[in-house]
């Protein structure tokens, strides 16, 4: 699961680049799916705090009903999400 976290953090950091609008839609769709999978994996491993965190991130970034933020705010949010992923990957599995 750590490889998914590193890969997703890298993809979220790619959002700093100037890309077409459909790139961000696909990034948010893949991010929501991977956050949901990470939430399920954490819940299955009895890490309830981490499961709630990842499920909240999945709901926040889902592309079906996107939150109406400006591009600069989305860049900040994606950087924060990438940092959360990296910190989560390096932390121990204590809950």
Could you read off the pLDDT of 30-52 as tens digits, one per residue?
999 999 999 999 999 999 999 99
How many angstroms separate the CA atoms of 95 and 17, rounded?
A: 35
How many angstroms separate the CA atoms of 70 and 9, rounded?
A: 21
Q: How confident is the model at residue 1 (pLDDT cuts 50, 70, 90)?
A: confident
Could you read off the pLDDT of 6-21 as tens digits, one per residue?
999 999 999 999 899 8
How many angstroms separate the CA atoms of 93 and 23, rounded?
A: 33
Could you read off the pLDDT of 41-94 as tens digits, one per residue?
999 999 999 999 999 999 999 989 989 999 899 999 999 999 999 999 888 665
- pLDDT score at 91: 83
């Amino acid at each position: 699961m750590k490889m998914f976290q590193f890969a997703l953090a890298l993809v979220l950091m790619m959002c700093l680049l100037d890309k077409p609008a459909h790139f961000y839609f696909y990034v948010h769709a893949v991010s929501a799916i991977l956050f949901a999978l990470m939430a399920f994996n954490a819940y299955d491993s009895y890490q309830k705090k981490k499961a709630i965190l990842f499920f909240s991130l999945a709901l926040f970034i889902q592309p079906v009903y996107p939150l109406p933020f400006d591009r600069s705010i989305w860049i900040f949010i994606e950087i924060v999400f990438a940092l959360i992923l990296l910190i989560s990957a390096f932390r121990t599995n204590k809950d």
